[in-house]
Amino acid sequence: MRPWLALRYLNIDFEEVRIPLFTPGYKEKLRAYSSAGLVPIYRKGDITIWDSLAILEHLAERHPQLWPKEPNARATARAVSAEMHAGFQSLRTHLPLNCRARGRHIPFTENVNKDICRITEIWEQCRNLHRFKGPWLFGRFSIADTMYAPVASRFVTYSVATGDTVQEYIDALMKDANVARWMAEAAAEEETIDAYENIGKP
């Protein structure tokens, strides 16, 4: 989702190869592109990049507008993106990304609540400290917003309660044309992931 959003934001034409995860033979299909066997994988010419933040950094070398212009904001944007990339395992495990599970209610563990508190703290600080105009974490849409978009969608799916500042940010992300397109395409997919299917079902 993250590199896909950045490519769309930059209006770069690309071919998308969809490999439904956890379906028969998916690992072999992924490994045909990258030995890591995980998505996302970006290929251009003779380069293959198999990590979302590495892909985003690669795109930012040619399109520096993907990071905030101001050096301090850029450093903070990199820090919050790295924190997202390396952390929040409880939330990612217990609240899987599933656009079709909207309205499901699951009890949040203590560690999930800790992740939620830290994420909302980051969003509030970015929105309040920098006082940028516009709805995004650092003024214009940046890599930091792509990094947090999948988490924001989990907040919507699992009805995570937030304050106004955070809710405004989540709403802005969900209304963004590229995020909305990703969600609509994901919701229309026919495949299901068994391990996710029953989470939160009554």
Residue 49 found at the interface with ligand GSH (CB under 6 A): no
Interface with ligand GSH (CB under 6 A), residue from 19, 29, 34, 38 = 38
Residue 51 found at the interface with ligand GSH (CB under 6 A): yes
User: Which amino acid type is present at position 9?
Assistant: Y
Residue 21 found at the interface with ligand GSH (CB under 6 A): yes
Residue 96 found at the interface with ligand GSH (CB under 6 A): no
Geometric angle at alpha carbon 100, from 15 and 175, rounded to 5°: 65
Residue 39 found at the interface with ligand GSH (CB under 6 A): yes
The residue (of 134 and 192) whose beta carbon lies closer to ligand GSH is: 192
To the nearest whole angstrom, how small is the minimum distance from the Cβ of residue 59 to ligand GSH?
A: 14
Q: Print the SS3 string covering 113-178.
A: HHHHHHHHHHHHHHHHHCCCCCCECCECCCHHHHHHHHHHHHHHHCCCCCCHHHHHHHHHHHHCHH
* Number of residues binding to ligand GSH, judged by CB under 6 A: 6
Residue 52 found at the interface with ligand GSH (CB under 6 A): yes
Residue 51: helix, strand or coil by DSSP?
A: coil
Residue 98 found at the interface with ligand GSH (CB under 6 A): no
Interface with ligand GSH (CB under 6 A), residue from 40, 70, 165, 172 = 40
Instruction: List Cβ neighbours of 34 (8 Å cut-off, separation of 6 or more).
Output: 41, 48, 50
Which of 15, 22, 33 lies closest to 191, judged by CA?
22
To the nearest whole angstrom, how small is the minimum distance from the Cβ of residue 2 to ligand GSH?
A: 7
Residues forming the site for ligand GSH (CB under 6 A) = 21, 38-40, 51-52
